[in-house]
Amino acid sequence: MAKGKQVYVRHCAGCHGSEGTGDGYRILGADPANLTSPAIQNKSDAALLSSIHQGKATMPSWNIRLSQQDARDVLTYVRTLAK
């Protein structure tokens, strides 16, 4: 969890916002997903891990920057953001 938060703050908060609500930096007008929303939280771990790893739309792919373990840790953290 602590590790996941570290990864999140370093790599994700810039776009998704420190609370995960998607209020960070908007690139090319695309809204970073609101990670606290049911639409995201209702997706399976596998689906979210795959988005995190492959990237999605304008979100960059993280598979060269994050290890499998980092991706799982950050997903654990994202799960704690659910409202």
Pick 43 or 83: Cβ nearer ligand HEC:
43
Instruction: Check binding of 20 to ligand HEC (CB under 6 A).
Output: no
- Tell the smallest beta-carbon distance from residue 52 to ligand HEC (Å): 5
Angle at 30 between CA 25 and CA 31, to 5 degrees: 65
Structure tokens given for 24: 């960070």
Q: Is 5 among the residues that bind ligand HEC (CB under 6 A)?
A: no
Residues that contact ligand HEC, how many (by CB under 6 A): 24
Should residue 17 be labelled a site residue for ligand HEC when binding is judged by CB under 6 A? Answer: no
Q: What whole-number distance in Å separates Cα of residue 29 and Cα of residue 58?
A: 10
Q: Does 79 bind ligand HEC (CB under 6 A)?
A: no
Q: Which two tokens stand for residue 9?
A: 């703050």
Told to check if 81 binds ligand HEC by CB under 6 A, we report: no
Residue type (1 letter), 49:
L
Length of the chain, in residues: 83
